[in-house]
Amino acid sequence: MPGEEIFYLSVSELAKRIESKKLSPVTLTQAYLDRSEKFGPRFNAYARLTPEIAFEQAKAAEKEIQRGHYRGPLHGIPYAAKDLLAVKGLPTTWGAKPYANQVFDYNATVIEHLNRVGAVMLGKASMIELAGGMGYRFASASLQGEAKNPWDTTCWTCGSSSGSGAIVAAGLAAFAIGTETWGSITCPSAFCGVTGLRPTYGRVSRYGAMALAPSMDKIGPLARSAEDCARIFAAIAGHDPKDRGTVPIDKGAFTYSPSMELRARPLKIGWLTNAWKSLESGVCQARRSCLQGIEKIFFEREGCGLARWSLGGCWQYYRCCGVRDFIPAADSLRSSERIDRPIGANRRICERAVYRRGLSTSPQGERNRPEKNGFLV
């Protein structure tokens, strides 16, 4: 079996070993599954492992590679998918108790893309229920419970792609797929010390993914490096006729090559000079070290200040849109008579959305709640 160091290699390095036949996809998959079974429960990282699917895909990848059919840098690479992406025949829980047994008869487009390049799915990553809905107060608002940060299990991973962050940081998979509406890829990546890519809206199809805010939802990778994210993005990006929000065919694809000339345009690093009013000593020291490292590479450094302004009514509008987009899920809860089961703050959101649609009696405390623009506030 591979040594401990294998779990912290980049996708690019694993791909080199697999392509050269120095590393077996089946052996790598077995190693990741063993590690995931051992440490996954400690971090509440997985919604479920899928060893049957993993070994089927790994064996298929190994046979193809042995015959000289190498599909590219993700061929035989194990990964985890956030549990709001549909996988045919498997429960897709959206992190919420009412959907614990929800099963779709099709795959999300992202899953199809990863199947096409020969990636190996180890399992479904845990997540905050309903991707956070209209907000949540506690990290435990998840069907799997609070995701633990592998660097410090007394700390959270951030959400809503909480399991995806924990899986990559703990070396339970080579990469993971997360989603973001407002920070759900970038935040777990930052908290867990991994690299995340939140693609521009429309670059990756959302077909087969739970919708939170259809005009803001994005799907992207969490991995060990920017190069890894580029390789994964190249596999999942592109136009999809099943998602009318994706960019046109001629603009949708992304191609990555290590030989890409980065000096064609000067590389710039953005540095905010007024991002924080105060910092804890440990954070301040890390920030100072980071800045010193940047100054060694970039001799000319100019920072910029972040303009102060208020979201004001925009934030309220976003909240109202969130309720609007959430109503179909709430309707489903009402029709199944499971309105009492969501965890934490999202339970109240379900109740309010259902009540507003006239589908339920007024929940406790809502009888005198004012309305604005047709939504409870």
Tens of pLDDT, residues 7-21: 999 999 999 999 999
Asked about 277 being catalytic, the answer comes back as: no
Q: Environment class of residue 189 by beta-carbon count within 10 Å: exposed (0-12), middle (13-18) or buried (19+)?
A: buried
Domain ranges of the chain: 4-252, 263-297, 313-376
Measured torsion, CA atoms of residues 141, 145, 150, 152, in degrees rounded to the nearest 10: 70
pTM of the predicted structure, to 2 decimals: 0.82
Q: Which of 24, 36, 142, 160 is catalytic?
A: 160
pLDDT in tens, 239-271: 999 999 999 999 888 988 876 655 556 677 778
Work out the end-to-end distance of the chain between its first and last CA atoms, rounded to an integer number of angstroms.
57
Percentage of the chain with pLDDT > 70? 79
**Three-state secondary structure call for residue 20:** coil
Q: Which of 31-35, 99-103, 221-225, 334-338 has the lowest mean pLDDT?
A: 334-338
Annotated active-site residue in 184, 189, 205, 360: 184
Per-residue pLDDT band at 311 (split at 50, 70, 90): low
Closest CA to 133 of 188, 166, 70, 182: 182
Nearest to 231 by CA among 193, 263, 270, 260: 260
Instruction: Output the pLDDT for position 281.
Output: 85
Sheet strands (E) in the chain: 46-49, 78-82, 120-125, 148-149, 152-156, 175-180, 195-196, 218-223, 371-372, 375-376
Choose, from 82, 124, 148, 218, the residue flagged as catalytic.
82
pLDDT in tens, 113-155: 999 999 999 999 999 999 998 678 899 999 999 999 999 999 9
Domain over 4-252 is classified CATH 3.30.200.20: no
140 catalytic residue (yes or no): no
Interstrand relation of 218-223 and 195-196 (parallel, antiparallel or unpaired): antiparallel
pLDDT at residue number 176: 98
The tokens for 111 are 């899953």
The Cα–Cα gap between 136 and 128 comes to 9
Please confirm, yes or no, whether 184 is among the known catalytic residues: yes
